[in-house]
Amino acid sequence: MRSHLLNDLTAEQYCRSVKEGVERVAARIAATDRPFTGITVDELAPRIDRIDLDRPLGDTTAALDELEEVYLRDAVYFHHPRYVAHLNCPVVIPAVLGEAVLSAVNSSLDTWDQSAGGTLIERKLIDWTTARTGLGPAADGVFTSGGTQSNLQALLLAREEAKTDDLARLRILTSGASHFSVRKAAKLLGLGPDAVISVPVDPDKRMRTVCLARELERCRRDALVPMAVVATAGTTDFGSIDPLPEIAELCAQHGVWLHVDAAYGCGLLVSPTRRHLLDGIEHADSVTVDYHKSFFQPVSSSAVLVRDASTLRHATYHADYLNPRRAVLERIPNQVDKSLQTTRRFDALKLWMTLRVMGADGIGRLFDEVCDLAAEGFRMLAADPRFEVVVEPALSTLVFRCIPAGVTDPAEIDRANLHARKALFASGDAVIAGTTVDDRHYLKFTLLNPETTLDDLAVVLDLIADHVEQYLGESLDRAS
Ligand SMILES: *Cc1c(COP(=O)(O)O)cnc(C)c1O
């Protein structure tokens, strides 16, 4: 079916197909009155099971009709104001346009001879981000598939810089509230099962620097090699920001690599009012930024940044068929020399289009709006006797639970909150997240949609309280 290839003969077909698909999505988005239909796996799976992949429809319209049935109608929609679950954002239109362009042209960012201008655009965006971060003139970085990969690459560089062959002695220090990808990276890097030391957090879920200092001393005494401290600027559950200046000071004293995981908090880089919350990040040796979280970019769009460009050499391998050593001498910019990936999407184009159309302040204002909403939501929750809220948010998450009047059994409170979350998902009226705090079940709002209002949150809280009441009523019936 050569006619399905995008080329000069099919350009018109390309316009028609993409337009038809885009119109479907636009119509679906305009028609969604809930973030989710509440469909179950058992309802949806048979629709997909009965599709015979060896019998193509041969027609775009038919395939889109089918897609409505198996995906579009029942997808979870992040643009809906009552989707307040995970770190997913509604996407800005210039970035979606960028996505359409980059997949049609299909540049691959590994070598200059596969991307040309794409390479330079990515480099300029990395420079722009390192400048905003304050990493200094020798900084560099590369786009990645996400925060998980950025953390892995940063820790690979840190491990190589630690200059010991004894992997068993290497340690990574990070707070108990940091992201699980730190542990995954430790495993992938061949470190031992005890490699990640969990540093306690304060009541605001920020790393306790006195405890970090103690652990660093302990490492020294035990002849262990702390290869990195991973500070989090925006923990996944609480949005808490570790005390970066104090941590940087300790890292400098002990000669330890400082990695700042700003996968979530990176939106502060463009915030017109909250940039100071990232003070200290400029001391980092490496930084993770996830534009697909707080820059309102489509998945995937992420980067790892380093203070010293030369450390990226630990990811450099040369292949005669791709990026021969000679290319370095000829000053041909081959981004593969800095990346864990080879073939790599031109994700940078989405951020480029966003900055060219909306500007950094436009993005920063959107992130400020959700942080402001979280602050208002916190006050609303704190004033509501039905709920208990854990910490005042630095960014845009709220972790809370419903404490129904007269119920004291902690296990019953857990079950009631768990039930409320599931019932809400099944209804599709709202999608919220959950987590545990001190082994108890809590509910979570992650606010990344500037269209979500305080009223939306009030409505969702009422729904939660209703589901909890209903559960307790049924629970009483079961008991009697
Ligand atoms: C989301 C997140 C990650 C992982 O990023 P992905 O893009 O999902 O791979 C890492 N660290 C923190 C703090 C996060 O919130």
pLDDT tens digits for range 404-426: 999 999 999 999 999 999 999 99
Q: Atom of ligand 1 at shortest distance to CA of 292?
A: 7
Ligand 1 contacts CB of residue 264 (under 6 A): yes
Ligand 1 contacts CB of residue 242 (under 6 A): no
Which positions ≥6 away from 408 have C-beta within 8 Å? none
Question: How much is the pLDDT for 432?
Answer: 98
Q: Is 82 helix (H, G, I), strand (E, B) or coil?
A: coil
> How many angstroms is it from 224 CA to the middle of ligand 1?
28
Residue of 259, 293, 302 best suited for mutating to test ligand 1, as the one with most atoms within 8 Å of CB: 293
> How many angstroms is it from 148 CA to the middle of ligand 1?
6
Mean pLDDT of 455-462: 98
Ligand 1 contacts CB of residue 147 (under 6 A): yes
Q: Atom of ligand 1 at shortest distance to CA of 300?
A: 7
**114 against 165, higher pLDDT:** 114
> How many angstroms is it from 331 CA to the middle of ligand 1?
34
Assess contact for 277 and 241: CB atoms under 8 A.
yes
Question: How much is the pLDDT for 478?
Answer: 82
Q: Is 191 helix (H, G, I), strand (E, B) or coil?
A: coil
> How many angstroms is it from 180 CA to the middle of ligand 1?
9
Ligand 1 contacts CB of residue 302 (under 6 A): yes
pLDDT in tens, 83-105: 999 999 999 999 999 999 999 99
Assess contact for 68 and 316: CB atoms under 8 A.
no
Question: How much is the pLDDT for 344?
Answer: 98
Is the pLDDT confidence value at 1 over 80?
no
Question: How much is the pLDDT for 50?
Answer: 97
Q: Atom of ligand 1 at shortest distance to CA of 302?
A: 7
> How many angstroms is it from 261 CA to the middle of ligand 1?
8
Is the pLDDT confidence value at 477 over 90?
no
Confidence band, pLDDT 50/70/90 cuts, at residue 3: confident
Q: Atom of ligand 1 at shortest distance to CA of 148?
A: 9
pLDDT in tens, 267-291: 999 999 999 999 999 999 999 999 9
pLDDT in tens, 16-45: 999 999 999 999 999 999 999 999 999 999
Q: Rounded to whole angstroms, how far apart are CA atoms 295 and 7?
A: 33
Residue of 207, 244, 288 best suited for mutating to test ligand 1, as the one with most atoms within 8 Å of CB: 288
> How many angstroms is it from 292 CA to the middle of ligand 1?
10
Q: Please give the mean pLDDT across all residues of the chain.
A: 97
Question: How much is the pLDDT for 41?
Answer: 97
Question: How much is the pLDDT for 475?
Answer: 84
Is the pLDDT confidence value at 127 over 80?
yes
Q: Rounded to whole angstroms, how far apart are CA atoms 194 and 162?
A: 17
* Structure tokens, 405: 């009047």
* Structure tokens, 236: 């996944």
Residues in a beta bridge with 259: 230, 286
**All domains of the chain in start order, with CATH:** 2-77 (1.20.1650), 98-358 (3.40.640.10)
**137 against 475, higher pLDDT:** 137
Give the residue carrying structure tokens 């929750």.
381
Ligand 1 contacts CB of residue 153 (under 6 A): no
| Percent of the chain residues topping a pLDDT of 70 | 100
Mean pLDDT of 242-268: 98
> How many angstroms is it from 388 CA to the middle of ligand 1?
26
Q: Atom of ligand 1 at shortest distance to CA of 234?
A: 13
Mean pLDDT of 369-376: 98
pLDDT in tens, 47-88: 999 999 999 999 999 999 999 999 999 999 999 999 999 999
Question: How much is the pLDDT for 479?
Answer: 80
Residue of 143, 152, 261, 300 best suited for mutating to test ligand 1, as the one with most atoms within 8 Å of CB: 261
